Structure 1
Amino acid sequence: MIIRHLANILSFTRILAAFFVFFITPLSWGFYLVYSYCGLTDVLDGIVARSMQTESHMGARLDSIADMVLFIVVFYRLGPVLWLSASRWIWIFAIIIGLIRITAYIVGAMRFRQFAALHLISNKATGLVLFFVPYLFLIIDMNIVLIGLCIIAMLSSLEELLCEIKAKQYNPNIRSYFEL
């Protein structure tokens, strides 16, 4: 019985692990250990669900919730470190990206009468780069890492907005603007 729910269990444990990040010093070995566990479970839950044919709407939502919780907690913990270390114009760039992303979600919600986030390849690339940002800080200057992240995030946010505007119907699994 537990095997059937293994993917959801992995997602749920990612939520629990994300809360541990509240109590760990940012960018410490403990942080990297818990953060790596969260990344591993993020990869494994989808693989497990597909291989065991236990994919579900609830599982997809749980995965998204786990991703959101991890992002919020990590940003909350790393935010002060980034605020002190990153150039101010990077913060302005990030705010612009956030506004574009929110606009895309609003356009999608208005057009399709539901929360309409897309699984674009560019969004997945942004998520992948975003996940590796704390590791990249170990080997590359923080501002260079953040500039690269902002460029990728800006492109994916603009693509999502264009897709939400142009799409005739909601398809969360669209891979690119060029599929429309």
Structure 2
Amino acid sequence: MKLLPNIITLLRIAGSLGLLLCDVTGVAYWIIYGLCGISDIADGWLARKLKCVTKKGALLDSLADICFVACCTWKLLPIVELPQWLWLWAGVIVAIKIVNQISALVMYGHCSFPHTQANKATGFLLFIAAPMTVWSIIPITIVAAIATFAAIHEGHYIRTKKINNE
């Protein structure tokens, strides 16, 4: 029973990879998309409920999140036209997150993916906004603003907290 949250997380990775095989306009894509989003909430909730929260589980969750976002991006970008300024903004967010990981490596000898409230909010809002981007860039612009704050907050957290003892 203690492995169930990690199994759900692994299923999210499998589902994310499964998205690559689906047509974005098809029902299967959106069913898998929804299940992956629900599993992102369920695995953490279940880990806390079963009192089996681990550093490895948190890292696996972060890797599953990255995989999900990467697969969705790969499928959605060809059908969405984003302005250049939004691409640049996304690049700045990615650069901040890379600097955060380099800071963690230098300071602690390992990467850190803190599950801050700002990061959780960004993930949830991105899950909701990504499908809406087909019709309007306003939702994804709002998410970009929140993601910028979350990335800066994550860096502050990494540089001011003892992440070794999370």
Q: Same fold (TM over 0.5)?
A: yes
Q: Determine the C-alpha separation between the residues in 2 that align with 1:89 and 1:25.
A: 28
TM-score normalised by the chain length of structure 2: 0.87
Q: 5+ unaligned residues in a row in structure 1: which ranges?
A: 174-180
RMSD: 2.1
Sort the Cα spacing of 1:95 and 1:27 in 2 relative to 1 into closer, same or farther, 3 A. farther
**What 5-or-longer segments of structure 2 have no aligned partner?**
none
Shift of 1:77: 1.2
Q: Is contact 1:26-1:78 (8 Å) kept?
A: yes
Q: Which has the larger radius of gyration?
A: 1
Task: Give the TM-score normalised by the residue count of structure 1.
Answer: 0.81
Partner in structure 2 of residue 144 of structure 1:
138
Q: Which amino acid aligns with 2:108?
A: F
The residue aligned with 1:86 is 82
Name the CA distance, whole Å, in 1 between partners of 2:161 and 2:36.
36
* 1:57-96 correspondence to structure 2 within 5 Å: 57-82=55-80, 85-96=81-92
For 2:130, which of 107, 129, 134 is the aligned residue? 134
Is the contact made by 1:118 and 1:171 (CA closer than 8 Å) also made in structure 2? no
Question: Take 1:101 and 1:120, find their aligned partners in 2: how far apart are those partners?
Answer: 14
1:125 to 2:121 alignment:
yes
Who is 2:106 aligned against? 110
Distance 1:27 1:154, change over 3 A: farther
Given that 1:27 and 1:134 are in contact with CA atoms closer than 8 Å, whether structure 2 keeps it comes out as: no
The Cα shift of 1:124 comes to: 1.2
Q: Give % identity.
A: 26
